[in-house]
Amino acid sequence: MKVVFWLNQFPAVSETFIRDQIIGILNNHIDVTIFTSYKNSDVSSIKGLVKYSLMQRTIKKDSILPRNWFLRLSRMLSILIANLLTANSKFYLRSLNFLRFKRTSMNLRLFYQTHFILKENPDVIHAHFGNNGMEAAYLKSIGLPFKLITTFHGFDIRKGISEDNSYYDLLIDQADSILSISKYNRQNLMNFGFKHDQILDLNNGIDIEFFKPSDKKDNSLDTIQIISVGRLTDEKAFDLAIKSIKNILKEFTEQEIHLTIIGEGPEYEELNELIIRLHLNNNITLAGKKSSTEVRNMLQKSDFFLLSSKAESLPTVILEAQACGLPIVSSNVGSILDIVKDGIHGYTADPTVNDLTMALSKMIESKQMWNEFGKNGRKYVEDNHDFERITNKLIQIYKGDV
C-alpha cells in the first residue's frame, strides 16, 4: 500500500501529530510520500528520526511545476503527446478543462499534479486540513483511482463556519472518508453538508511512551510552575493567560508563581510588551519554539498546564500534558470539555480573564488534588488516545475495513 500525505507544511513543530501519524504508518511497512505546500528548513521537529528519511520523502508542491512558462507549456505538450495513446490520456485531458477548473487548470497546476499522482500511483491520498482535501478533490473529480481521506482540525472548521454552506461542496462530493477528531468537529462537518456515514471518528494519537510523567520531578520547590504551549496567535489568547497571572499574583501574595509560554508567532512582540507593561518579567517567560523533546521535558517539570484559547477544536497539547501527568486549567471552547472534566482532570472556564483567574485560583487552592488530577488525565489518554491503537484504526480505514 502507498499513501500520499497532502499537507500545508512539513516538518512543523506545531503539527507533530501529523509527523507522528506518518511515522506510525511507516512503522507498519506502508510506503509514504509527503506532498506539501511548504518544505520547512527547520527540522527540529524530526530530530532523531533519520531512519525514516522523512525529508527525502517530502516533495514541495511547487517543485513539480516549472516556473518558466515556456518550459511549463512545452513540457506539458511533451507529456501529453507521450501519453496520448495510453489509458492515462483521459486524465490529462480532463485536467485541461479550463471552463470547469478555471485558474487551477489554466495555470497547468492541475495537469502537473495529475502527472505527479499518476507517477506516484497511491492507494490513498490522506489530506490534513480541509483546504488540502479540496485540492486533492479536483484530482479525484477527474477520475484518478485513489481513496481520498481528509482529516479536519481547527482552522479549517472555523473557515467552514465563516463561509457559506457550499464552501466544501467539492470535497463532500469526492471524499471517501472525512476524519473527525472531536464531537465538536463532527457536528460542524454535518452542518457543512458531509454525510453521516462519510464521517469517521478518529482521535488524535499520543505517544504515551514518549509523553509520560517523570520520576525525577522535584516537588520540593516553592515556586508553582505553570506551562502553556501554542502558536502565539490571536485565537490562542495568551493575553488572557498573562492578565490572569497578574490577577493571581495579587491574590496569592505569599506564593511564588511562574508561567512559561512555549511557542512562536505573530503576537510575540505584543505579548512581550504586555508582560513588561504589567511588570511580570520575573513571573512569565516567553520561551520561544522548542523541539518535541524539549516540550516534553518542560511539561514533566511543571506543576500544571494552562490553555487560554478562545477558539479550538481539540488541542493535542492538552493530551500531551495529560499524558505527562499534569492537571489542566483550560478554556471550555470546542471539544475541550470532552477531554478535561471539571474536578476530575482539572478545571475549565469561559475564555475571559475573570473566569480563567477563578479557575487558576481554584487549582492553586486544591494542591492536594494535583496528583489525582494528573493520574486521571494520564489514564484518559491511555484509554482513548494511545498512538498505537489510533494508528491501527487508521490503517483499517485506509484498507476500507472501517
pLDDT, tens digit (0-9, with 9 covering 90-100), for 39-80: 998 888 887 789 999 999 999 999 999 999 999 999 999 999
pLDDT score, position 13: 84
Outline where DSSP puts E strands in 249-345: 257-262, 284-288, 304-307, 328-331
pLDDT score, position 35: 98
Pairing of strands 328-331, 257-262: unpaired
pLDDT digits (tens, 9 = 90+) for 188-230: 999 999 999 999 999 999 999 999 999 866 666 789 999 999 9
For residue 53, give every residue at least 6 positions away whose Cβ sits within 8 Å of its Cβ, in sequence order, or none: none
Domain covering 2-205+386-399 in this structure, CATH number = 3.40.50.2000
CB 237 within 8 A of CB 308: yes
Q: Which of 231, 362, 249 shows the shortest CA–CA distance to 304?
A: 362
Q: Cα separations (Å) of 208 from 41, 137, 185, 387?
A: 28, 34, 24, 7
pLDDT digits (tens, 9 = 90+) for 36-47: 999 998 888 887
For the CA atoms of the chain, what is the radius of gyration? 23
State the cell numbers at 341. Answer: 472534566
pLDDT score, position 48: 78
pLDDT score, position 219: 63
Distance, CA of 211 to CA of 151 (rounded, Å): 23
Instruction: Please give the average per-residue pLDDT across 269-283, as a whole number.
Output: 98
Residue 355 has pLDDT above 90, yes or no: yes
Distance, CA of 337 to CA of 5 (rounded, Å): 30
pLDDT score, position 165: 76
pLDDT score, position 220: 60
Angle of helix 130-141 relative to helix 155-162, nearest 10 degrees, comes to 80
Give pTM, 2 decimals: 0.91
pLDDT score, position 47: 79
Domain covering 224-384 in this structure, CATH number = 3.40.50.2000
How is the chain split into domains, by residue range? Answer: 2-205+386-399, 224-384
DSSP classification of residue 222: S
State the cell numbers at 281. Answer: 518579567
Instruction: Please give the average per-residue pLDDT across 225-241, as a whole number.
Output: 97
Residue 119 confidence class, pLDDT cut points 50, 70, 90: very high
372 φ, ψ (degrees, to nearest 5): -65, -45
* 196: Cα within 13 Å, side-chain hemisphere: 0
pLDDT digits (tens, 9 = 90+) for 131-165: 999 999 999 999 999 999 999 999 999 999 999 87
Cα pseudo-dihedral 194, 200, 204, 208, rounded to 10 = 180
Distance, CA of 162 to CA of 311 (rounded, Å): 13
Mean pLDDT, the chain, rounded, equals 95
pLDDT score, position 46: 87
Task: Tell me which of 371 and 14 has the higher pLDDT.
Answer: 371
Residue 401 confidence class, pLDDT cut points 50, 70, 90: confident
224-384 has the same fold as 2-205+386-399: yes
**SS3 for 46?**
helix
